[in-house]
Amino acid sequence: MTMPAPSTTAVPVAPQATPRDRLDRPLRDLRISVTDRCNFRCTYCMPKEVFGKDYPYLERKALLSFEEVVRIARVFKGLGIEKIRLTGGEPLMRKDVDKLIAMLSDIGGLDLTLTTNGSLLARKAVALRAAGLKRVTVSLDSLDDAVFKAMNDVDFPVAKVLEGIDAAVAAGLKPIKINMVVKRGVNEHSIVPMARYFREQGHILRFIEYMDVGHTNGWRMDDVVSAREIVDMISKEMPLQPADPNYTGEVAERWHYKDGSGEIGVIASVTQAFCRDCTRARISTEGKLYTCLFATAGHDLRALLRNGASDDELNTFVKGIWTRRGDRYSEIRSEKTVKLEKIEMSYIGG
């Protein structure tokens, strides 16, 4: 008797108790890097002297396929994931990324979002929204063209990013969040103008302390402008008051303008470590699972996928990694840990 071939149709994974790590942190958020390529060469992420024209990017076959990404997302959804953020590199450089978004949207019950440098957003915003993307976060480090061009290191103008933000709003991708990495001696004088501008635009601006992600950006503690300094600078002109977090594990400390005209956020992983509330896992471009932004090694999900692992086996693998997790890098940061060869942000997103 001939046996029927096994079905390849994806079967929804039944929800289970959310796994908790050794510090009792639940698994809630998943960030998936869809490409290791980027058209910017930001000095704090992909400096040109390292990521030059001959840099060996991953071959296409090494990247997770859309079907593999969706299968991973379904497994994580079954383990309690509530939010998926697509990252890169620059995720809009991944061909047909809107098709991936549509496939992820079909899973249902997920807060689906994306972080972008905004360079391709103007021409892709409508397709992204139509595919099911709910909102976007745009990286922009200054409104000063000279400063911004120096930081992205490819001579890309501010106006084109602002055009992308406007297109996202028009397409219905909201709320829009703007991320600004602040580096001392480079763009701290842009803090107040950025706050003033996006307050008027009605968008949420988040300031990110310059972090020692990866091992190629030449990080020094002296280059960090602290969250406290940032809040004080803004509050002198536009008084602020602290606001409660939207949810447990929110990375940004929220501040409302006292006149009710909006809010800002500060992400202070250097000076005010929030490891104790971290609920995020990350999937790298080539399918490795990382449990910390500052990790030195990942766990190979792609190999399991391509060697025929069942959803139950993937589920057990992920659960085992998470329950053994004890990461708290920002709480124990030292001269020794800073020198570790950590995975680059372009592989696992921010």
Q: Could you give the angle at the alpha carbon of 43 between the alpha carbons of 42 and 46, nearest 5°?
A: 65
pLDDT on residue 13 = 46
Mean pLDDT of the chain: 89
Phi-psi region of 109 (alpha: psi -120 to 50; beta: other; left: phi over 0): left
The contacts of residue 75 (CB under 8 Å, 6+ apart) are 13, 311, 314, 315, 318
Which amino acid is present at 266?
A: V
Average pLDDT over residues 16-20: 83
Give pLDDT tens digits for 205-240. 999 988 766 555 555 777 889 999 999 999 999 999
pLDDT on residue 213 = 62
- Tell me the HSE value of 281 on the side-chain side, using a 13 A CA sphere: 31
pLDDT on residue 157 = 98
pLDDT on residue 285 = 93
Average pLDDT over residues 60-86: 96
Q: Is the pLDDT reported for residue 35 higher than 90?
A: yes
Q: Is the pLDDT reported for residue 247 higher than 80?
A: no
Give residue for tokens 């942190």: 25
The contacts of residue 73 (CB under 8 Å, 6+ apart) are 30, 32, 81, 84, 104, 107, 110
Average pLDDT over residues 161-186: 96
Helices of type H across the chain: 66-78, 97-105, 121-131, 145-152, 158-171, 191-201, 227-237, 301-306, 311-323, 329-332, 335-338, 345-348
* Contact predicate 181/71, CB 8 Å: no
Q: Is the pLDDT reported for residue 345 higher than 80?
A: no
The contacts of residue 120 (CB under 8 Å, 6+ apart) are 39, 90, 92, 93, 164
- Report domain extents, the chain: 29-348
Burial zone of 152 (CB within 10 Å; 0-12 exposed, 13-18 middle, 19+ buried): buried
Q: Give domain 29-348's CATH architecture.
A: Alpha-Beta Barrel (3.20)
**For the whole model, what pTM was predicted?**
0.89
DSSP designation for 183 = B
332 CB neighbour count, 10 Å cutoff: 11
93 CB neighbour count, 10 Å cutoff: 18
Distance between CA atoms of 119 and 39, rounded to whole angstroms? 8
